A and B are shown apart, each in its own frame.
Chain A
């Protein structure tokens, strides 16, 4: 059947086609902001980024500047970072410590919870002006926490975060279980852009099919590097996590600091990795421990959060500012108690594949940008094919495209609902 967005989902003919205007059309881009970015739960940050009471960070989420604070009691707040007076950005620092935020324009000063503490020349205003609700910084309509992951929602209505996350919640929990002492965002952010439509990055982030061709040089590098390859083959399946979230879960030949040893880490490293694995088994049981340690997972939480638990863990979020341009922020997530050695290898692993300077991500970027350029051909070349695996009996393979279909069906549902 043809969906309202023009997606063709024909199960009988095992055909799933996405119209290319989904990546190029300005009106679709604008609708996406209304129907998706203003309605869905969006990732804001991780609790470890505000480890101390009285700290803050600023971040742009789906084009909106947000001030994320922790007050002296330790409570978290998500505020729209604009002064109620004339609208200037109140906090202009990226992160820091401080419990008062002074707007540099006229000096209105706000607390960590956004309340107006002082304003110069208050005699010029009527009594009660300072406590007027309209003169306070505005809260993001909703903020919720799932484990240590904070999400915000620009809509007051709609399902709570746990319901929204559906089965993706369990994978988030699984990440928390990597460590007995909690997980943290490692310092240093990879901040970049891609000149392509944002949904191309969602697709690419859990596309198991492209690795062999697009990342041939990375796989050859692993092969060249003595001891970098483990024994496990690239093999696994795609899992629909409901509500548009999906992942691929698979074994892979690369080393995982939790806890898949590869020979390059040496005998000392083996001892440490064995100890990590033993602790994991005793804490979460053998079955879950095996899943955490031996399986890689690339998950997309609809619409724009990618968590790839691969040779390291990347938390990556992105948003479009135009149909053909997106901004991306990516972090590394790691166990708090990790030894220096393991942390070093984790980051070494991360940068080997992931990020703008890695041996793989630049080629993903190239693929995404070349898709966007290719869409300019127009004419009768109207559709992308996302049907791989539709004709297969049994569970979809990690290198099929079932996970992307789950994403697109949700994308279509959200846009169609908005239009109805």
Chain B
């Protein structure tokens, strides 16, 4: 490979990673500021949002055969956002303070699909509790040319159990 080709490849992959990082950072920002309708708009219409439990291989497990914490299809993602906008969602009323840290973003292109793997720490603080969720995201992203849309988001918790957290009442 010539130096020029290598540089182009490097440029391409950096550019791709920057585009994905921009998307992931935007997502984190929207979640931190509770702009959940806008968060939902980052997803395709057939998107899924998953949180597997700690005692299965979260990278490969499927919610059709193993019990997950969250296995949202598009209907349920929308309803999750609707629910969180109500004062009857007691766990999040008043709303907790949320901060999403996203780092170590790796991307891989597979045709129109971009698979990204990144590390996260999500902090949730509310009255007497302050919990950290630690894990990695697997984003399946569709390149629609002018914009990127998320088709699947899996939040794999790198934790032994959801303790002492008790709940995933925010969106990870």
A331 to B66, CA, bound (A): 10
* A351-B70 in contact (CB<8A): yes
> Measured between C-beta atoms, what is the minimum distance from A351 to chain B in Å?
5
Given A191-B54, A352-B76, A373-B127: 18 more A-B contacts, CB < 8 Å: A186-B66, A187-B61, A188-B55, A189-B67, A190-B53, A191-B55, A216-B88, A218-B83, A220-B88, A225-B75, A347-B64, A347-B67, A348-B71, A356-B168, A357-B70, A359-B83, A362-B166, A365-B166
Q: A56-71 interface mask toward B, CB cutoff 8 Å, 1 = contact, 0 = none?
A: 0000000000000000
- Of the residues A332, A351, A356, contact of B166 by C-beta under 8 Å: A356
**Please, which residue of chain A has its CB at the minimum distance from the CB of B64?**
A344
A218 to B89, CA, bound (A): 9
Binds A, one of B115-123, B135-143, B156-164: B156-164
Chain A residues whose CB sits within 8 angstroms of the CB of B160 once the complex forms: 191
Given A214-B90, A225-B79, A363-B91: A343 in contact with B168 (beta carbons within 8 A): no
Chain B residues whose CB sits within 8 angstroms of the CB of A357 once the complex forms: 51, 68-70, 167-168
Say yes or no for A123: interface residue by CB 8 A criterion. no
For this complex, 17 residue pairs linking A to B, each with C-beta atoms less than 8 Å apart, are A188-B67, A191-B163, A195-B166, A217-B83, A221-B79, A340-B64, A347-B63, A347-B66, A347-B71, A348-B71, A348-B73, A351-B70, A356-B166, A356-B167, A361-B167, A362-B169, A373-B127
Say yes or no for B165: interface residue by CB 8 A criterion. yes
A93 to B54, CA, bound (A): 14
* A187-B56 in contact (CB<8A): yes
Say yes or no for A139: interface residue by CB 8 A criterion. no
A-contacting residues, B66-108, CB 8 Å: 66-71, 73, 75-76, 79-80, 82-83, 86, 88-92
Chain A residues whose CB sits within 8 angstroms of the CB of B80 once the complex forms: 359
**Please, which residue of chain A has its CB at the minimum distance from the CB of B84?**
A217
- Of the residues A224, A340, A347, A369, contact of B68 by C-beta under 8 Å: A347
Q: Considering only CB atoms and an 8 Å cut-off, how many residues of chain B contact the other chain?
A: 42
* B89-A195 in contact (CB<8A): no
> Measured between C-beta atoms, what is the minimum distance from A66 to chain B in Å?
16
Chain B residues whose CB sits within 8 angstroms of the CB of A332 once the complex forms: 67
**Please, which residue of chain B has its CB at the minimum distance from the CB of A352?**
B76
Say yes or no for B128: interface residue by CB 8 A criterion. yes
A327 to B160, CA, bound (A): 13
B-contacting residues, A77-124, CB 8 Å: 94
Say yes or no for B65: interface residue by CB 8 A criterion. yes
A138 to B164, CA, bound (A): 31
* B129-A355 in contact (CB<8A): no
**Please, which residue of chain B has its CB at the minimum distance from the CB of A196?**
B166
Say yes or no for A33: interface residue by CB 8 A criterion. no
Given A188-B56, A362-B167, A363-B91: A351 in contact with B71 (beta carbons within 8 A): yes
* B64-A343 in contact (CB<8A): yes
Say yes or no for A34: interface residue by CB 8 A criterion. no
**Please, which residue of chain A has its CB at the minimum distance from the CB of B129?**
A195
Say yes or no for A350: interface residue by CB 8 A criterion. yes
A196 to B71, CA, bound (A): 27
> Measured between C-beta atoms, what is the minimum distance from A20 to chain B in Å?
18
- Of the residues B51, B65, B91, contact of A365 by C-beta under 8 Å: B91
**Please, which residue of chain B has its CB at the minimum distance from the CB of A372?**
B128
Given A191-B55, A367-B90: A356 in contact with B69 (beta carbons within 8 A): yes
A418 to B10, CA, bound (A): 73
Number of A-B contacts (CB under 8 A): 135
Top-6 shortest CB links A-B: A188-B67, A191-B161, A357-B69, A188-B66, A357-B70, A362-B91
Say yes or no for A146: interface residue by CB 8 A criterion. no
* A373-B128 in contact (CB<8A): yes
* A217-B64 in contact (CB<8A): no
Say yes or no for A192: interface residue by CB 8 A criterion. yes
**Please, which residue of chain B has its CB at the minimum distance from the CB of A214?**
B90
* A363-B90 in contact (CB<8A): yes
B-contacting residues, A267-291, CB 8 Å: none
A-contacting residues, B21-68, CB 8 Å: 51-56, 61, 63-68
Interface core residue of A194, A214, A217, A332 (most chain B CB under 10 Å):
A217
Chain A residues whose CB sits within 8 angstroms of the CB of B70 once the complex forms: 351, 357
A190 to B53, CA, bound (A): 6
Chain A residues whose CB sits within 8 angstroms of the CB of B65 once the complex forms: 186-187, 343, 347
Chain B residues whose CB sits within 8 angstroms of the CB of A194 once the complex forms: 166
A87 to B5, CA, bound (A): 62
Interface core residue of A350, A355, A357 (most chain B CB under 10 Å):
A357
A314 to B79, CA, bound (A): 23
**Please, which residue of chain A has its CB at the minimum distance from the CB of B127?**
A373
Say yes or no for A164: interface residue by CB 8 A criterion. no
* A217-B55 in contact (CB<8A): no
Chain B residues whose CB sits within 8 angstroms of the CB of A189 once the complex forms: 53-55, 67
Say yes or no for A325: interface residue by CB 8 A criterion. yes
* A325-B89 in contact (CB<8A): no
A248 to B73, CA, bound (A): 31
Given A195-B129, A214-B90, A352-B76: A188 in contact with B163 (beta carbons within 8 A): no
* A224-B167 in contact (CB<8A): no
**Please, which residue of chain B has its CB at the minimum distance from the CB of A340?**
B64
* A356-B56 in contact (CB<8A): no
